[in-house]
Structure 1
Amino acid sequence: MSASPRKAVVLLSGGMDSAVVVAIAKSQGFDVHALSVRYGQRHTSELDAARNVAMALGAVEHKTVVVDLRSIGGSALTDDIDVPTDGDTGASIPVTYVPARNTIMLSIALGWAEVLGANDIFCGVNAVDYSGYPDCRPEFVEAFERLANLATKAGVEGAGLRVHAPLQFMSKADIVREGLRLGVDFGLTVSCYQADAEGRACGECDACRLRAQGFDAAGVADPTRYARAEGPGRLR
C-alpha cells in the first residue's frame, strides 16, 4: 500500500513567482492546497489569475481568505498613494511595501496547515530580484518558522512545521527558467501592481519592470498582456 501524498499549503498571489512555487511543491510530491489572500489590494485581477493557476497546475484545492488591510492603509497598494512608475525606489523601503503583509499571510497559511494536518508551508518570497521589502529576507522566513513551531499545537506535539521559500536566492531569470521547466504557463499570471480589470499590466511599475527584465535575461518571449501597445519595450 503506497503512502498518502504529503499535504502543503502554498501561498498563491497569482503572480509569476508564486505560480512557480506551486509547480515546485507539486514536483516534490506534495498535494498542494493553494491559499490566496484578498487583503484590499488595488485590483482583484491577480486573484482571478491565482484561481486559473491553481486549476492549471493541479492544486487539490484553492481557498481565498479576506483580510482588510485597506482599513489600516500605509501602502500604495492599499491606500490612496500613487504607485511609483519611475523605476527608482532609492535606498529606502518603497511605498509599495504593505505593512505586515507576509507575516499575516503566513499566519493564515499556518492556521490552515494545522487544520489540514500539513507540516509544510511554501511561499514565494525572494531576496535577489525584489523591491527591498524587509519581509522577503531569509532572516524573516527563518524567524517565522521558529514562531510556527513555538506557537502551534502541531509544532509542540506534532512532527513540526517547515516554511519553504524555494525562490529565495533565485534571480527573476532563474525563476522564469525553472517555471518553464516545470510547465508553468506564465501567460496566466498577473504581477502588475495596478493591472486593469482584464489583468493587463501597466508596464511601468516596479513589478512590471522586474518581470520584464526576468524574461529578457532568460531569453524568453514575455507573455504578459500590457494595457499599452509598447508594453515591455519601455522598461529597458
Structure 2
Amino acid sequence: MKAVVLLSGGLDSTVCMAVAKSQNYDLYPLSFNYNQRHSIELESAKEVAEYYEVTRHLIIENNMNEFGGSALTDKSIEVPAANMDSKEIPPTYVPARNLIFLSYALGYAEAIGAERIFIGVNALDYSGYPDCRPEFISLFQKLADYSTKASVQDKKEIIIETPLIQLSKKDIVILGTKLQAPLHLTHSCYRGDGIACGNCDSCILRLRGFKEAGFQDPISYDKKL
C-alpha cells in the first residue's frame, strides 16, 4: 500500500508521516519549494525523509511568492509576534496553499497508484487558517472523487487522511513521541532565521504543546515561554 504524505518538515507533518508509517504504508513524501521565506523547514523535510529511508522524496518547485499577500512568501511583510487571542487570520496565511498542495498530491497519488494522501492539518491548536478545517478537507475529498481517472473510471477512491485534525498540540507531541517520530529534526518557526524564534504563532503553539505534554522540545530557541 502506498501513501503520499505532504511533508513540510514541521512538527505536524512529521508526526503525520509517523502515523502513516505505523499503518504500514509505503511512504512517498511530497514537499514544496514555493519560494517561501526560508528553506530551513525544507531542509528538515529532507532529513525526515532520509530518517524514514523512503523510496523517493519528491520536491516540487513553484513560485507562490509571485502571488504575494503572505508574510511567509513576501519579505516586505513582517512575521508578527504571536497573538493567540486574535480572531483574525494572521498574515502568515498563504493564499490557497493547502488547496494547491493537495491538488499536486492528488495527481501524484494517481500517477503512482497510491490509495491515501496524508496531510497534517489541525483545527484545534493552529493559527486559524481556513484550509486546515474539517470542512475544507471534506469538500476537497468530494472534489477528488470527481476529478481523477482512478476514481471516475477505475472506481479507486484516493482517501485524504487527516489523523491530527482534532488533536491538540499536546496530543500531537504525545503521539509523535509514542511513534518515535524524529521530532529533533523538525523546524516550525515562521521567521526561519536559523534558530527558532520562540515568539511567532507556530513557535508558541509548539512550545506550549511540549510543555503541556511534559516533554522537553528537542530543538533550540532564541527565547522560550
The normalised TM-score by structure 2 is 0.96
Q: Specify the SS of the correspondent of 1:151.
A: coil
- Give the RMSD, CA atoms, in angstroms: 1.1
8 Å CA contact 2:38–2:191 kept in 1: the answer is yes
Question: How has the CA–CA distance of structure 1 residues 146 and 207 changed in structure 2, closer, same or farther, with 3 Å as cutoff?
Answer: same
Q: By how many angstroms is 1:150 displaced?
A: 0.5
Q: By how many angstroms is 1:185 displaced?
A: 2.0
How many angstroms apart in 1 are the aligned matches of 2:192 and 2:181?
20
**1:225 maps onto 2:220 in alignment:** yes
Q: Specify the SS of the correspondent of 1:61.
A: coil
Amino acid at match of 2:123: A
How many angstroms apart in 1 are the aligned matches of 2:82 and 2:145?
41
Amino acid at match of 1:29: N
8 Å CA contact 2:82–2:204 kept in 1: the answer is no
Question: What corresponds to 1:195 in structure 2?
Answer: 192
How many angstroms apart in 2 are the aligned matches of 1:89 and 1:103?
26
RCO (CA 8 Å, sep 6+): is it higher in 1 or 2?
2
Q: Deviations over 1:49-105 (max 9, x none)?
A: 001011112322211101211001111111121001142462111111100000000
Q: By how many angstroms is 1:22 displaced?
A: 0.7
8 Å CA contact 1:11–1:36 kept in 2: the answer is yes
Pairs aligned (count): 223
**1:114 maps onto 2:110 in alignment:** yes
How many angstroms apart in 2 are the aligned matches of 1:27 and 1:86?
33
**1:178 maps onto 2:161 in alignment:** no
Q: By how many angstroms is 1:224 displaced?
A: 1.7
Amino acid at match of 2:62: V
The normalised TM-score by structure 1 is 0.92
Unaligned segments of structure 2, at least 5 residues: none
Match of 2:92 among 85, 92, 96: 96
8 Å CA contact 1:141–1:163 kept in 2: the answer is yes
Amino acid at match of 2:159: R
